[in-house]
Amino acid sequence: MQTAAIILCAGEGTRMKSKKPKVAHEILGRPLVQWVVEAARSAGANPIVSIVGHGSDVVKPLVDGTIAVEQPQRLGTGDAVMCAQAALADFDGSVLVLSGDCPMISASTLEQLVSAREKEKAACAVLSMKMSNPFGYGRIVRTPAGEVERIVEQKDASDEEAAICECNSGFYCFDCKLLFDALHQVGNDNAAGEYYLTDVLAILRNAGKRVIAVLAEDSEECMGVNSRVQLSEASRAMQRRINTAHMQNGVTMMAPDMVWIGPDVKISADVELLPGVMLMGNTEIGQDCTIGPNCRLTDTIVGCGCVIDETVAIEARIDDGATCGPRAYLRPGAHLMENAKAGTHVEIKKSTIGPSSKVPHLSYIGDTVMGSGVNIGAGSITCNYDGAHKHPTTIGDNSFIGSDTMMVAPVNIGSNVVVGAGSVITKDVPDSALAVARARERIIEDWACKHAKK
């Protein structure tokens, strides 16, 4: 049977106290709603319909690849699901209904919900959860025989019903046709004056259909985000889930609660991540690297056997055996080739540092192509910007650039060149030459005696 999904994300999220719609807030660099879209996709749902409303100009781009439908007014979860009817008019099969603010839900739980409904030939399977403090949630009301009878919302619950600990997680799988038939019968005569999606369960049951509840194995998956405090709790929970998976795959972390890894990051075995590491975006780490402490790598590809200490790298490439830091800053387009080094207080932008070349201390290298075996002396800088334009620098193999050299671009320095310390290089230097461009030292003998204070 085919599976579709409807993701509810039209709500405002008042308790976030934010100008940004709630589902646009991020966990590990990924907006809340995208976690849910990703889980639905991995569970095989197609098509996916997103119900947007509050801040839809911000939310729509985040649900790219789904069918985004506007809910004109927030009249309740039942009204929200109804907005998907036209988009699913030709669809026949199972439809998942998901909340866009519950990022922890896993694809496997959604698959279980779908297969439970199909196996039990039920019109609806609701994912339920046991809560020690159920306040605020809808409660699952069962018949004396234990069958699911209906869901009652907190505001409408009697004292007896409010004592029920089995709650509605807000995740459901319905027979699509039966869902929309039943939704037409939902009214808004309740404490909130809203059209409740939850009323559909009793409507289906009263029409002689089967309704079941599947108890969530891990209620953490149903965790919703309504406030910044819950956002941080969900971030922690996701961090634990991701880090546990990496440790199971052979990554060492002495303090996993101090390591933050985005969902799309790939890490090979025998990598050690020290405290204070953030790996974000499409970062990849090869085998046997040691990263940290205190590193932030975003969209950066790291080879094998690299040592990266206190480094920030964005859209950079670090090939096998290269070393970085402490306190290196690799900006977009920085490429350290095999066994190259970017040392202490070194900034590199849009430059290739050739194999075994070293930029060990206090340098800025920008718009540069450097060959292999080059040594850049401490404090040397490529002056790539004339105030209006950026210009390139090239440095050939095995050249030695003395400390405190300014290479004023555009400039080409050949191979096997030696540049004297303190030089300002404005002219091209041919292969194997010595270039010195600095004021000569003058010695004035006995200067101190002549100027001594009388």
130, 132, 137, 143: CA torsion to nearest 10? 50
| Six token digits for residue 280 | 């974000």
Task: Report, in Å, the least distance between residue 334 CB and ligand UD1.
Answer: 41
Residue 371 lies near ligand UD1 (rule: CB under 6 A): no
Q: Find the binding residues for ligand UD1 in span 34-53 (CB under 6 A).
A: 51, 53
Task: Report, in Å, the least distance between residue 208 CB and ligand UD1.
Answer: 23
Phi-psi group of 109: left, alpha or beta (phi > 0 → left; psi -120 to 50 → alpha; rest → beta):
alpha
Q: Which of 111, 153, 175, 397 binds ligand UD1 (CB under 6 A)?
A: 153
Decide whether 79 or 404 has the Cβ nearer to ligand UD1.
Answer: 79
Nearest CA among 289, 330, 324, 320 for reference residue 310: 324
Decide whether 76 or 402 has the Cβ nearer to ligand UD1.
Answer: 76
Residue 167 lies near ligand UD1 (rule: CB under 6 A): yes
Residue 31 lies near ligand UD1 (rule: CB under 6 A): no
Q: Give me the sign of the Cα torsion angle 140, 150, 148, 5.
A: negative
Number of residues that bind ligand UD1 (CB under 6 A): 28
Q: Which range of residues in 166-174, 241-249, 251-259, 288-296 is near ligand UD1 by CB under 6 A? A: 166-174
Instruction: Let me know if 434 is exposed, middle or buried by CB neighbors in 10 A (0-12, 13-18, 19+).
Output: exposed
E strand or H helix at 256, and its extent?
none
Q: State the binding string over 71-110 for ligand UD1 (x if CB under 6 A, else -).
A: x--xxxx-xx------------------xxx---------
Q: Find the binding residues for ligand UD1 in span 210-269 (CB under 6 A).
A: 224
- C-alpha pair distances (Å), 349 with each of 269, 334, 453: 29, 5, 51
CB of 285 closer than 8 Å to CB of 291: yes
CB of 414 closer than 8 Å to CB of 408: no
Task: Report, in Å, the least distance between residue 394 CB and ligand UD1.
Answer: 56
Q: Find the binding residues for ligand UD1 in span 179-208 (CB under 6 A).
A: 196-198
Decide whether 9 or 253 has the Cβ nearer to ligand UD1.
Answer: 9
Q: Which of 8, 97, 182, 353 binds ligand UD1 (CB under 6 A)?
A: 8
Residues forming the active site: 361
Distance in angstroms (rounded) separating the CA atoms of residues 245 and 230: 23
Residue 170 lies near ligand UD1 (rule: CB under 6 A): yes
Tell me how far the alpha carbon of residue 154 is from its chain's centroid: 34
Task: Report, in Å, the least distance between residue 108 CB and ligand UD1.
Answer: 20
Residue 141 lies near ligand UD1 (rule: CB under 6 A): no
Task: Report, in Å, the least distance between residue 23 CB and ligand UD1.
Answer: 7
Residue 320 lies near ligand UD1 (rule: CB under 6 A): no
Within 10 A of 144 (CB to CB), how many other CB atoms are there? Answer: 6
Decide whether 202 or 411 has the Cβ nearer to ligand UD1.
Answer: 202
Distance in angstroms (rounded) separating the CA atoms of residues 346 and 364: 6
Q: Which of 55, 103, 138, 325 binds ligand UD1 (CB under 6 A)?
A: 138
Instruction: List the end-to-end C-alpha distance of the chain, in Å, as a whole number.
Output: 104
Decide whether 157 or 376 has the Cβ nearer to ligand UD1.
Answer: 157
Instruction: Let me know if 351 is exposed, middle or buried by CB neighbors in 10 A (0-12, 13-18, 19+).
Output: buried
Decide whether 169 or 294 has the Cβ nearer to ligand UD1.
Answer: 169
Nearest CA among 221, 203, 162 for reference residue 78: 203
Q: Output DSSP code: residue 390.
A: B
Q: Point out which residues bind ligand UD1 (CB under 6 A).
A: 8-11, 51, 53, 71, 74-77, 79-80, 99-101, 137-138, 151, 153, 167-170, 196-198, 224
